[in-house]
Structure 1
Amino acid sequence: MNPERLRRVEELYFRMLELSAVERERALGSVCADDAGLAREVRVLLAHDTRVGGFLESPALGAGFAVSGATTPDELVGTVAGRYRLDARLASGGMGTVYRATRDGEFTQHVAIKVVKRGMDTDEILRRFRAERQTLAALSHPNIAGVIDGGALPDGRPYLVMEFVDGVPIDQYCDQHSLKIEERLAIFRVVCDAVGYAHQRLVVHRDLKPANILVTPAGIPKLLDFGIAKVLSNADVPHTTMTTVQERRLTPEYASPEQITGRPVTTAADVHSLGVILYELLSGTRPYHFETRTTSEIERVITESEPPLPSTAVARAPASPTNPADASRATVSPPPGLLRSTAPDHLRRSLRGDLDTIVMTAMRKDPQRRYPTVEQLAADIDRYLRDLPISARKDTLSYRVAKFVRRNTAATLVASVAVLALAAVVTTVFWQARIAARERDAAFDARDQAEAINAFLQEMLRSADPSRHAGDVSVRELLDETAGRISNELADRPLTQASIRNTLGATYLSLGLYDEAESHLRAAYQQRVSLLGEGHHDVAESKHDLAALLYAKGKYPEAETLLREAMEVFRTIRGDHNADTARVASSLGAVLRAQNRLDEAERFHRESLAARMKMGNPESPEVAESLNNLGGVLRQQGKLSEAEDAVRRSLEIRRHVLGEEHPLTAQGYANLAVMTYALGKADEAERMFRRAIEIEEKVLAPDHPELATTLHSLSFVLVNRKDYAGAIPLIERAVVAREQTLGASDPRSIQVRLFLASTLRLAGRFGESERVLGMAVEHARVDAVPQELRAKLDEELELLRRARTGSPLEGSK
């Protein structure tokens, strides 16, 4: 079928959708009188009724979910997908069906499961599911509905298990609660944070719209379907044009011009979609409307037509839905001003100027002329809410003066009354203009930096294109390639270079690659200090991340110093209850615990937990982290019952939010195993340690420090049971992992090797014990090894000598 034929079929298909069955036949008979084949092709599409929607455009999950109108029984309802029972069908689309499901077990968990329809279960789709699942599960953010699990039904169809969100689409929530403009901006600002978080992890949503942003009854927005479009669409093909109904994996009203025309999609597409959503939240109408919804019309409207400013559009009555899928939501709406708790004229005045500019900048046709990142869009919203100049607007003197007057209304009025104060007013205005200029310059510097980061990351993503390599590109290879290019390509942008270095360092750290991490984190810190000064937010961020590395390497006093300095900066800039301060408090508690300063550690962990609970979601991964860390301190203080409760709750949250196969879930199992062992529940502890290892072997590298720690812990349980044969292989693996990551002369590596020598001795394998112990003694000759560890080595040598000669042990020996 040639392109012209396809366009003709599609055009007729959409025209026929609006007619009854009888009218369709009459119209097709008239239009296709000379082309029976054309009529047959249109009838096939109508019979399947795939519409423009589909699997990726399923209504949002939760109480606001539009229940499928189909009345025919569903063969999957009542069946089981993995560990989940499918309870009810929620919605269906051209690509698949969404079900509400329940997992029964230690705790009941309600989820949403998306099942791909027959015909989509190809080897390629299955490969993408496997490749993407871990990426999506790693999106651990309180405002992103995470992917929990995935798999395939017995018939081979893949499915994804999603967090079930009880909420309504963001536009409905704002209207139902008659939120003011500032309140709508506050919720939208949270959405921007979530999207920005995903972008930093190289995940582009591609289908942002109100139906994919639910707001819970508590007012917490949750983003749905992150990255699913990449899983199911032909994402690896660089130039895919939107030619047929079946290829549409987007919602035209919110899609960017580059998506519509099939150009490469970057994070700029999400910025455009956010602009459209903000347009609708503020004005009460969509910027784009379609009559026929043919490909040619959609492309023309999105790529060529300029929508009216939001302040102009607000004068119009809310438009009826142009997407047939939205017809069920169509109601007679009150005026937009009433829904925003203000008079229509006041609403127009509120939108005119800065908000018009912010929205239209985000929606520009050319991706290069939009906000370069979501963070910059969010920053301008923050500036608007604080009555500061926005970076997207031409910064004239009159504009800065207007901002000054609005921020200082009373002072300006008093000054205008007193003629003698006129000179002082003029002086103040020019002083404020200089302040605003500095703010503007800072905003533009930040925007330039973000643009450079965005461009660099886009090229980094392109370097992972399979077409450029013989095989798949690993995360390590991508990091190494990026690290090798950063010095030369960004030499003229030191702040941009520092930001990317810091991200690289943090990523290397998460992989357990400490030397590479330290190189980048220290370089980023030094660059930021020299360019920004000690009191800057980014410098404090670098101090925190560098402290995390030092903690991992056992350099606790250095880590503590950096964390206390970062805490002072964040409290000065942001106060006590925010994500930055809570994160540093949690890290500082961990460092203090490692130094056995338990009372101080408990105080900081409780501060972190209180701040995170106050910030919103009590079941966020951040709350789970604080509970986990607090439980560890309580255990060392001997408060075992309270400690067990905290760690169990932490694991419960992680299993619910992150899913089973996640590094933090494995950590939760391991920590709860330590807790239960301390309570004398050795069998339960062993089961949990083994479950943690099972997960870590799937999601972590063989030499990862976390896996080494869990192997060591389980071996300790087995040694105490005199199961030396079971313990020795685990300790050997832990030794290899420790030495590869930390080096053979690190005290922690020597400690594990000492434990291996001791276990071999207890097992009667004296020759092997002597060999292992001799290597530990040799590695311990460096100055960094504490004297008490050397004493333990000497003690083990004596124990081995007595065991070989059969000499009796003295006293406690």
Structure 2
Amino acid sequence: MSSSIPTIRELFEAAIALDAPARAEFLEQHCPDPERRAQVEALIAADEDAGEPLQTGAIDRMASAMGPTRLRPSLPAGSRVGPFELQEVIGEGGSSTVFHAVREVEGVTQHVALKLMRCSLYSPDAQRAFRREQHALIQLRHPNIARMIEGGVNESGLPYIALELVVGSTITDYVRTHQLGLRRRLHLFSVVCLAVEAAHRALIVHRDLKPSNVLVTEDGEVKLLDFGIAKLLAEDGEGSHTQMPAFTPAYAAPEQQSGGPTTTATDVYALGVLLGEIVTGERVNDGSGRTPSSRISAPSGSARPVALHHVTRKQVRGDLDAIILKALEADPLRRYASAGRLAEDIERLLCSQPVSAQPPSRWYRAHKFMLRHKGGVATTVAFLLAILAALGLALWQARLAREQTVLAEQASSRAKTTLAFIVNVLQTASADLPKDQRPTPEALVREAAKNARDDPELDPLVRAQLFTTLAEIARSNGENRQAELLIDEAIEGLHEQGSSPSSPEWIAALVSKGNLLHDTDRTAEADQLMLGLLPALEGVDTEGAVSALMLYSATRAYAEDTDRAVEFGTRALQKAQRVFGVDSLNAVYTAMYVGLLANKLKHYVEGESILSDVVARWRRLGLPRNEVLARCLFHLAKARHKIGKAAGVETLYREGIALMRSVGDESFYKISMGLRGLADFQIDMEKFAEAKAVLDEAGKISGKVGEDSSEVALTRLLQARWHEERNEWAEAERTYRSAHAALAKNADQGATDAEFSRVKLDWSRALIELGRLDEATTLLAHSKIALGESSGSNDIASPDFHCISGELDMANNRFESAVANLDRGLDLFAKLDVAVPSSEVRCRRSRVNALLALNRAHDARLEAAKAFTRQQEASPQAKGKLAGLLALRARAEQADADPSAAAASIEQARLLAAPVELLSTADRTTLEL
């Protein structure tokens, strides 16, 4: 602020940076004039008002308060600006008036939003700069960015810009009036991010992102307004300059407010403010340091900008907090590198994948992968429920020792002691206390631990059990250091008491320690801890033993020991069924997680067996028909498809999709997952028309996330396979290329690593078919680097690599090498736990052609017979594949000098009446079709 009498603007900018109490004190000291103070307070109120844009006339009063300017009165309806006729004023901004305008273009009336600037551009240099910038903006094309149609300077020197006319609500109003849940809010926001990213790639920065510049139509389509306009407004004309800043202070990044350089990071900051407002209903960059989740409270009578009864603190705490705060970093270098990266984190959050805003600990990734989550203790009631676990354990011991009188009395005594301790601790959290005086869960943990240490009469075993429970609560609250101290005290106390390694309290303490090691990125230590505990678990059927086996299964999965991961997951399930009862909810959910783990690790036989039982019990027990059941149905259908149990697969997919739709649009990405599974199965069954309709729907749903998202890429992979199976190789190659480009942008996500490797192989096959052998050679070389040799894996990528390499050898007339590669591929297929008929049959077909090229007709004939039999066993409905294999067999029989056998094969193929378009040119010729 200058040393002379400060202007209204200087006072406003200084005051707006302060919180409310400091702001009042500042104005009392620096603005004693009541009239001037009223003007500043009016500006502050206008800045805090989310209802933008300002009503007609309000901006004039604000600008007048800010300082002298050359405002012009609004032009009347019917006035012309360039080729446009003004209809009515639809809004005003800091440096422009927005009109609804029209013009006639080849007999068609074009409606636009015309922004008429308040600053004049008199000099030729200023006008050239304006035209240069508006030309760049006219080139910007994106479905979610309101298109600039035209720009120019009228005879009075006033620049104008004609934009696509968008009718809609601000994004904050839209989520409020439509009462959207969190997922749909985040989906809308990710669309905004992807539109901003597209503009950034065109080297255009918005500079003034805020709710009034992000509209949503009644159809739910997002449209960004005024892209790049702020830069145009910032250009000074001759003899005049912008009196209002070319940005909105409430959404401006620190470097923007201080006059620093404006970059794409500036827009990322504004997106962070916008995201916080969409989620919490208030601007989160007020300097208070509060996390976004802490701003969400129980419903009250106070009005808020955005209705939040569909968003809870628990939903926002953790990942979403971290995402918003990373976007709002004061240092631009610490923010997201781009709006696209912010959109990727939102997509990961929606798909329950790890987000980059969180520290990349292995436990965090395990938490996402295994869907093992424990809610934070946020209230005194939750704390009470957690502490009661200690009481429950003691009571369980009392029941277990019912026939042993002495032990029973000891256990009962511990239970009573535990209960008395709990009551004493919770007296400090009485509901009679005012809310602001009630202790937090963290404070209760510290108080309880202190009381347990200081009470000399407390039973040592009870003390150890309490420490274990308190450690779990501290860990769930993110206080890992406190949790480790408590659990170490518990283990030390149990060791001093001589607790048996198979006792419930000892197992519970070590499992708690193992989980903590996961949480602090010490997975190898957790693995060794559970490995040492395994002998003690034999014959011990307790909840703690179940947890220990599940934890060891998880650590084995992360060590890529898939066989032991599935083995110990299965053991955990068997133990859970004994502990909780086969039909208990705990046992059913344990089975579900183990089944999903088996599928994830491509152990489809085990996955199918477990998930079949889960679904059967779910139905018999009348459990809720919800999203969890839908996921089980999808994974069961996939497992059956992969092991060749075609019956009922389509029914399972359709039931799961219908069920997921009933949950609501917020699960859109899970609906697309089910649709892709169904389409994959239908392609194998040669139901191409049905598969296309399903893929079209999946593409439409996936596209809502963004054109470069992993969801879209996975759908394109299947669309490419659809073309490939119909011998439409040119279209297949283009689609594989598109899928590869999208997956490359998401290659750091674990969920797409396998697909990214897979697409290289399938793409190379399409290139071979099109004769583009050099490109195929390069792509296969990259695939080999990525794959390495994994002959013991359940992944089909390695055998497929050798088979496709054999096809490339054949295209280069290296037939001996081709046979060697194809044989290697078939050997690897034979070692898989689960057969993959489609890939194996394709490899055998290629081997027949290679043998024919080497004049080994008899061997080719035998191989052709194997391929046909294998296809018939796997999918007798696939008439196109069967007819093609019969045509191949006929050619081998002809080469083996057996024309009668060849004629019989041709006749058998014709009787199948397969669609001609599913046959290759060679097969059509053989069958004379």
Q: TM-score, normalised by structure 2?
A: 0.40
Quick one: higher RCO (CA 8 Å, sep 6+), 1 or 2? 1
Q: TM-score, normalised by structure 1?
A: 0.45
Instruction: Indicate the structure (1 or 2) with the bigger Cα radius of gyration.
Output: 2
